[in-house]
Protein backbone atom coordinates (compact mmCIF):
# COMPACT_ATOMS: atom_id res chain seq x y z
CA UNK A 1 0.00 0.00 0.00
CA UNK A 2 2.81 2.41 0.80
CA UNK A 3 4.37 1.74 -2.58
CA UNK A 4 1.04 2.25 -4.31
CA UNK A 5 0.43 5.58 -2.62
CA UNK A 6 4.00 6.63 -3.27
CA UNK A 7 3.46 6.11 -7.00
CA UNK A 8 0.64 8.66 -7.06
CA UNK A 9 1.76 12.22 -7.90
CA UNK A 10 1.03 14.42 -4.88
CA UNK A 11 2.39 17.71 -3.64
CA UNK A 12 5.50 17.47 -1.49
CA UNK A 13 4.75 17.38 2.23
CA UNK A 14 1.01 17.13 1.58
CA UNK A 15 0.31 16.29 5.23
CA UNK A 16 1.05 18.45 8.27
CA UNK A 17 3.59 17.36 10.86
CA UNK A 18 2.46 14.66 13.27
CA UNK A 19 2.20 17.09 16.21
CA UNK A 20 0.00 19.41 14.15
CA UNK A 21 -2.26 16.53 13.09
CA UNK A 22 -2.68 15.36 16.67
CA UNK A 23 -3.42 18.89 17.85
CA UNK A 24 -6.02 19.25 15.12
CA UNK A 25 -7.70 15.96 16.03
CA UNK A 26 -7.75 16.93 19.68
CA UNK A 27 -9.80 20.04 18.82
CA UNK A 28 -12.52 18.28 16.83
CA UNK A 29 -14.45 16.37 19.47
CA UNK A 30 -14.03 12.97 17.83
CA UNK A 31 -16.25 11.42 20.50
CA UNK A 32 -19.18 12.91 18.54
CA UNK A 33 -18.62 10.37 15.76
CA UNK A 34 -20.73 7.21 15.59
CA UNK A 35 -17.88 5.05 16.85
CA UNK A 36 -18.47 6.59 20.30
CA UNK A 37 -21.86 8.33 20.15
CA UNK A 38 -23.70 5.28 18.76
CA UNK A 39 -21.44 2.29 19.36
CA UNK A 40 -19.89 3.29 22.73
CA UNK A 41 -16.28 2.86 21.60
CA UNK A 42 -13.96 5.71 22.69
CA UNK A 43 -11.56 7.40 20.24
CA UNK A 44 -8.27 5.50 20.15
CA UNK A 45 -5.78 8.33 20.61
CA UNK A 46 -2.78 5.99 20.46
CA UNK A 47 -3.91 4.73 17.06
CA UNK A 48 -4.29 8.30 15.77
CA UNK A 49 -0.82 9.11 17.06
CA UNK A 50 0.77 6.20 15.20
CA UNK A 51 -1.14 7.02 12.01
CA UNK A 52 -0.07 10.67 12.11
CA UNK A 53 3.60 9.70 12.52
CA UNK A 54 3.51 7.11 9.71
CA UNK A 55 1.56 8.66 6.83
CA UNK A 56 0.30 6.00 4.43
CA UNK A 57 0.59 3.11 6.92
CA UNK A 58 -2.56 1.49 8.26
CA UNK A 59 -2.89 1.17 12.05
CA UNK A 60 -5.39 -1.41 13.37
CA UNK A 61 -6.86 -2.35 16.72
CA UNK A 62 -9.04 -5.48 16.79
CA UNK A 63 -10.80 -7.54 19.44
CA UNK A 64 -13.07 -10.42 18.45
CA UNK A 65 -15.60 -9.19 15.91
CA UNK A 66 -14.79 -5.52 16.55
CA UNK A 67 -12.11 -3.68 14.64
CA UNK A 68 -10.93 -0.10 14.10
CA UNK A 69 -8.45 0.96 11.45
CA UNK A 70 -6.90 4.41 11.02
CA UNK A 71 -4.72 5.72 8.20
CA UNK A 72 -3.54 9.16 7.08
CA UNK A 73 -3.29 9.38 3.30
CA UNK A 74 -2.11 12.05 0.88
CA UNK A 75 -5.46 12.41 -0.87
CA UNK A 76 -8.19 15.07 -0.79
CA UNK A 77 -11.21 14.20 1.33
CA UNK A 78 -13.48 14.32 -1.74
CA UNK A 79 -11.54 11.51 -3.47
CA UNK A 80 -11.93 9.12 -0.55
CA UNK A 81 -15.56 10.18 0.01
CA UNK A 82 -16.49 9.24 -3.57
CA UNK A 83 -14.96 5.78 -3.20
CA UNK A 84 -16.72 5.14 0.12
CA UNK A 85 -20.13 6.17 -1.20
CA UNK A 86 -20.16 4.33 -4.53
CA UNK A 87 -21.15 0.83 -3.40
CA UNK A 88 -22.32 -0.20 -6.87
CA UNK A 89 -18.68 -0.05 -7.99
CA UNK A 90 -16.93 -1.52 -4.95
CA UNK A 91 -17.06 -5.11 -6.21
CA UNK A 92 -15.29 -4.21 -9.46
CA UNK A 93 -11.66 -5.20 -9.84
CA UNK A 94 -9.74 -6.70 -6.95
CA UNK A 95 -9.71 -3.69 -4.66
CA UNK A 96 -12.24 -4.64 -1.99
CA UNK A 97 -12.87 -8.07 -0.37
CA UNK A 98 -16.36 -8.18 -1.93
CA UNK A 99 -17.96 -10.70 -4.26
CA UNK A 100 -21.03 -8.51 -4.71
CA UNK A 101 -22.00 -4.94 -3.86
CA UNK A 102 -25.33 -3.49 -4.98
CA UNK A 103 -27.70 -0.67 -4.05
CA UNK A 104 -31.17 -2.17 -3.55
CA UNK A 105 -32.99 0.87 -2.15
CA UNK A 106 -32.66 4.60 -1.76
CA UNK A 107 -30.48 6.84 -3.91
CA UNK A 108 -27.10 5.61 -5.20
CA UNK A 109 -24.36 7.87 -3.79
CA UNK A 110 -27.09 9.64 -1.80
CA UNK A 111 -27.61 10.49 1.84
CA UNK A 112 -29.49 7.25 2.59
CA UNK A 113 -29.52 3.93 0.78
CA UNK A 114 -30.06 0.21 1.35
CA UNK A 115 -27.10 -1.92 0.36
CA UNK A 116 -26.60 -5.61 -0.37
CA UNK A 117 -23.04 -6.90 -0.10
CA UNK A 118 -21.32 -10.27 0.05
CA UNK A 119 -17.73 -11.09 0.87
CA UNK A 120 -15.58 -14.19 0.90
CA UNK A 121 -12.02 -14.84 2.01
CA UNK A 122 -10.11 -18.03 2.74
CA UNK A 123 -13.09 -20.07 1.56
CA UNK A 124 -15.40 -18.46 4.14
CA UNK A 125 -17.99 -15.80 3.40
CA UNK A 126 -21.25 -14.12 4.26
CA UNK A 127 -23.85 -11.79 2.72
CA UNK A 128 -25.55 -8.87 4.46
CA UNK A 129 -28.01 -6.02 3.94
CA UNK A 130 -27.45 -2.66 5.60
CA UNK A 131 -29.07 0.74 5.87
CA UNK A 132 -26.28 3.19 5.10
CA UNK A 133 -26.75 6.85 6.06
CA UNK A 134 -24.52 9.92 5.86
CA UNK A 135 -24.15 11.77 9.16
CA UNK A 136 -25.27 15.23 8.11
CA UNK A 137 -25.78 16.34 11.71
CA UNK A 138 -22.14 15.66 12.58
CA UNK A 139 -20.95 17.37 9.39
CA UNK A 140 -22.89 20.53 10.16
CA UNK A 141 -22.00 20.57 13.88
CA UNK A 142 -18.29 20.28 13.00
CA UNK A 143 -18.48 23.02 10.30
CA UNK A 144 -17.56 20.47 7.63
CA UNK A 145 -14.58 18.99 9.51
CA UNK A 146 -16.03 15.48 10.07
CA UNK A 147 -17.35 13.47 7.13
CA UNK A 148 -19.09 10.27 8.22
CA UNK A 149 -21.26 7.54 6.79
CA UNK A 150 -22.80 5.02 9.19
CA UNK A 151 -24.44 1.64 8.62
CA UNK A 152 -26.44 -0.92 10.54
CA UNK A 153 -27.77 -4.25 9.37
CA UNK A 154 -31.34 -4.79 8.18
CA UNK A 155 -31.29 -8.57 8.34
CA UNK A 156 -34.49 -9.22 10.30
CA UNK A 157 -36.85 -11.43 8.32
CA UNK A 158 -34.34 -12.02 5.50
CA UNK A 159 -33.83 -15.70 4.81
CA UNK A 160 -32.26 -15.30 1.38
CA UNK A 161 -30.44 -12.51 -0.47
CA UNK A 162 -32.82 -9.91 -2.01
CA UNK A 163 -30.95 -9.87 -5.34
CA UNK A 164 -30.98 -11.81 -8.59
CA UNK A 165 -28.41 -14.59 -9.01
CA UNK A 166 -27.32 -14.44 -5.36
CA UNK A 167 -23.93 -15.78 -4.26
CA UNK A 168 -24.01 -19.16 -2.53
CA UNK A 169 -23.24 -17.85 0.96
CA UNK A 170 -24.94 -17.73 4.35
CA UNK A 171 -26.24 -14.50 5.93
CA UNK A 172 -24.33 -12.62 8.62
CA UNK A 173 -26.09 -12.41 11.98
CA UNK A 174 -25.33 -8.75 12.74
CA UNK A 175 -23.10 -5.97 11.46
CA UNK A 176 -22.68 -2.25 12.03
CA UNK A 177 -20.01 0.37 11.57
CA UNK A 178 -18.90 3.64 10.07
CA UNK A 179 -16.38 5.37 7.83
CA UNK A 180 -15.05 8.68 9.17
CA UNK A 181 -12.95 11.16 7.18
CA UNK A 182 -11.14 14.18 8.60
CA UNK A 183 -9.57 16.61 6.09
CA UNK A 184 -6.19 17.73 7.48
CA UNK A 185 -4.96 19.70 4.46
CA UNK A 186 -5.92 20.11 0.81
CA UNK A 187 -4.25 16.80 -0.10
CA UNK A 188 -4.23 15.03 3.26
CA UNK A 189 -7.04 13.13 4.99
CA UNK A 190 -7.34 10.91 8.03
CA UNK A 191 -9.63 7.94 7.43
CA UNK A 192 -11.08 5.78 10.21
CA UNK A 193 -13.06 2.60 9.68
CA UNK A 194 -15.02 1.03 12.54
CA UNK A 195 -16.62 -2.36 11.99
CA UNK A 196 -18.39 -4.78 14.30
CA UNK A 197 -19.75 -8.06 12.96
CA UNK A 198 -21.20 -11.26 14.30
CA UNK A 199 -20.93 -13.68 11.38
CA UNK A 200 -22.34 -16.73 13.17
CA UNK A 201 -21.75 -20.45 12.69
CA UNK A 202 -18.25 -21.65 11.81
CA UNK A 203 -17.02 -18.23 10.72
CA UNK A 204 -17.72 -16.97 14.23
CA UNK A 205 -15.19 -19.47 15.58
CA UNK A 206 -12.53 -18.10 13.21
CA UNK A 207 -13.57 -14.46 13.19
CA UNK A 208 -10.31 -13.25 14.73
CA UNK A 209 -8.42 -14.39 11.65
CA UNK A 210 -11.04 -13.84 8.96
CA UNK A 211 -12.45 -10.50 10.13
CA UNK A 212 -9.06 -9.06 10.99
CA UNK A 213 -7.85 -9.74 7.48
CA UNK A 214 -11.09 -8.43 5.98
CA UNK A 215 -10.76 -5.18 7.96
CA UNK A 216 -7.30 -4.53 6.58
CA UNK A 217 -8.27 -5.45 3.05
CA UNK A 218 -11.35 -3.21 3.18
CA UNK A 219 -9.38 -0.13 4.24
CA UNK A 220 -6.36 -0.68 2.03
CA UNK A 221 -8.62 -1.65 -0.87
CA UNK A 222 -10.75 1.45 -0.45
CA UNK A 223 -7.65 3.67 -0.59
CA UNK A 224 -6.38 1.85 -3.69
CA UNK A 225 -9.81 2.17 -5.31
CA UNK A 226 -9.90 5.90 -4.55
CA UNK A 227 -6.43 6.42 -6.04
CA UNK A 228 -7.23 4.48 -9.19
CA UNK A 229 -10.78 5.58 -9.95
CA UNK A 230 -11.94 8.68 -8.05
CA UNK A 231 -9.49 11.49 -8.72
CA UNK A 232 -12.34 12.90 -10.80
CA UNK A 233 -16.02 12.07 -10.38
CA UNK A 234 -17.11 9.16 -12.60
CA UNK A 235 -20.33 9.31 -14.60
CA UNK A 236 -23.61 8.40 -12.97
CA UNK A 237 -25.61 9.72 -10.05
CA UNK A 238 -24.14 12.86 -8.46
CA UNK A 239 -22.06 12.63 -5.30
CA UNK A 240 -23.14 14.66 -2.28
CA UNK A 241 -21.57 15.79 0.98
CA UNK A 242 -22.93 14.42 4.27
CA UNK A 243 -25.42 17.31 4.43
CA UNK A 244 -26.79 16.46 0.97
CA UNK A 245 -25.23 19.38 -0.91
CA UNK A 246 -23.61 18.52 -4.28
CA UNK A 247 -19.98 17.52 -3.80
CA UNK A 248 -18.74 19.34 -6.90
CA UNK A 249 -20.29 22.70 -6.01
CA UNK A 250 -18.80 25.30 -3.62
CA UNK A 251 -19.50 24.79 0.06
CA UNK A 252 -19.92 27.79 2.31
CA UNK A 253 -18.62 26.17 5.50
CA UNK A 254 -15.29 24.70 4.52
CA UNK A 255 -13.30 23.24 7.42
CA UNK A 256 -10.26 25.07 8.68
CA UNK A 257 -7.12 23.15 7.73
pLDDT digits (tens, 9 = 90+) for 92-117: 999 999 999 999 999 999 999 999 99
Residue 250, SS3 per DSSP: coil
Q: What is the DSSP letter of 246?
A: B
- Range in 20-24, 100-104, 199-203 with the lowest mean pLDDT: 199-203
Domain 16-229 CATH superfamily: START domain (3.30.530.20)
Neighbour tally for 124: CB within 10 Å:
18
Model confidence at 197, pLDDT cuts 50, 70, 90, reads confident
Q: Please name the residues in contact with 79: beta carbons below 8 A apart, sequence gap of 6 or more.
A: 226, 227, 230, 231
Q: At residue 207, does pLDDT exceed 80?
A: no
257 touches 183 (CB < 8 A): yes
Q: Domain boundaries in the chain?
A: 16-229
Amino acid sequence: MVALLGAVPVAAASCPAAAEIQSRLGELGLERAARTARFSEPPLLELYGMASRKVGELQVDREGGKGIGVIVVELPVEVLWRAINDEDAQDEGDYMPLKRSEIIGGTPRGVSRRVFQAGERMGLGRWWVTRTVMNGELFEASDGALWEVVWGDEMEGLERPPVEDPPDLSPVKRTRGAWLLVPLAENCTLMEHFNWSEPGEFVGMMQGLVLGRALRESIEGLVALAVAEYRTAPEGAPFVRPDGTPLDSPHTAEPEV
